[in-house]
Amino acid sequence: MNERNILVVAHAGREDTVAAALRVVDALRDAGARPVLAVDDRADLVAVEPRFADVVALGLDVELADLELAIVLGGDGTILRAAELVRGSGAPVLGINMGHVGFLAEIDRDDMDAAVRRVIDRDYEVEERLALSVRVKDSAGEVVYETWALNEATVEKASRERMIEIVLEIDGRPLSSFGCDGMVVSTPTGSTAYNFSAGGPVIWPSVEAIAVVPLSAHALFAKPLVVSPDAAVAIEMLEGISGYGILWCDGRRSHDLPPGARVVVRRSSRPVRLARLHPTAFTNRLVRKFQLPVAGWRGQGAQA
């Protein structure tokens, strides 16, 4: 019988998260599964709790392709890190919220033990989320950097004192050129993150689309755009007049952008897979996250 390898992703900086990770590790072992830790996570966890020392490490003892699922203890930032760790494996990510009201975590810590049992029973659904493929080309058109994003790819100015000058292109056609502090290219998953703060639209996860939002643009036509999920969005740093920029993907991976650089963003052929135990209406998530006022609603049970 093949070993069932379950990755556990947890931040060692919080006592409650360390204790929760230990509970998950013990529960997985008791059920006959093998808990796995990322190398860096194991080193950090062992430093505060030596009992993690005998947990096997991803990439050393267990291959990425052999992961069945990742259990993540934390908020959206930790889930983004887990998605990066399992990228290429096909393993879905199950988020357990450890105190922050996020959009990616599936359940709260009070339901953690039940969640582990359902993972063992394979009693969950998998939801696929659109991800972005991101390429950077130099002024000669050569690809110099490739990465991906679940939430967003942002092109930002590298220094406070000088904006960047860009040309925005959609599907091979130039749309407009202007000076700005940056551009956010977001998935529906990321529409409640940087995109939201920049004034972009909230996009329901069931809608396949890409949002394009300028940051502090000096232009008449620089409104948020929603384009096809199959569109190619390109941002060119105008050679000779633009300041230096920097590309960030999910706030985790970055690459410098000199004048003349070109960033091309399109749908990735590989979506991110999220494990779901209790499918929840996205409207409810919005109400909880932003504490939206819904008092007086009388529509429950009524036909729309």
Could you tell me the strand order of the sheet in which 164-170 lies? 143-149, 132-137, 262-267, 233-237, 164-170, 173-180
Mean pLDDT on 109-117: 87
**Percentage of the chain exceeding pLDDT 70:** 97
**Mean pLDDT (the chain, rounded):** 93
Quick one: pLDDT band at residue 148, thresholds 50, 70, 90? very high
**262 φ/ψ angles, rounded to the nearest 5 degrees:** -135, 125
Quick one: pLDDT band at residue 107, thresholds 50, 70, 90? confident
Quick one: pLDDT band at residue 94, thresholds 50, 70, 90? very high
User: Nearest CA to 181 among 222, 239, 225?
Assistant: 222
> How far is residue 8 from each of residues 207, 271, 300, measured CA to CA in Å?
30, 21, 39
**Percentage of the chain exceeding pLDDT 90:** 82
Cβ pair 215, 235 in contact under 8 A: no
Please tell me the predicted confidence (pLDDT) of residue 301: 57
209 vs 108, more confident:
209
Domain 132-267 in CATH 3.40.50.1100:
no
Indicate whether 1 pLDDT > 80: no
Please tell me the predicted confidence (pLDDT) of residue 304: 53
pLDDT one-digit tens code per residue, 203-245: 999 999 999 999 999 988 899 999 999 999 999 999 989 999 9
Please tell me the predicted confidence (pLDDT) of residue 303: 54
Active-site option among 41, 44, 76, 250:
76
**Region of poorest pLDDT, from 25-39, 88-102, 176-190:** 88-102
Q: Model's pTM, two decimal places? A: 0.92
- Is 76 designated active site? yes
pLDDT one-digit tens code per residue, 156-200: 999 988 999 999 999 999 999 999 999 999 999 999 999 999 999
Fold type of domain 5-129+272-290: Rossmann fold (3.40.50)
Label the pairing between strands 262-267 and 210-215.
unpaired
Q: How many CA atoms lie within 13 A of 3 on its CB side?
A: 15
Instruction: Tell me which amino acid residue 21 is.
Output: A
Both ends of the chain: CA-CA distance in Å? 51
Please tell me the predicted confidence (pLDDT) of residue 220: 83
What does the alpha-carbon distance between residue 86 and residue 65 come to, in Å, rounded to a whole number? Answer: 9
Look-up: residue for tokens 């809608």?
A: 207
Q: Which two tokens stand for residue 99?
A: 């105190």
Burial of 47 (0-12, 13-18, 19+ CB in 10 A): exposed
Q: Where are the domains of the chain?
A: 5-129+272-290, 132-267
**129 φ/ψ angles, rounded to the nearest 5 degrees:** -110, 135
> How far is residue 207 from each of residues 130, 194, 203, 271, 283, measured CA to CA in Å?
10, 18, 7, 14, 13
Please tell me the predicted confidence (pLDDT) of residue 138: 95
Label the pairing between strands 93-97 and 67-73.
parallel
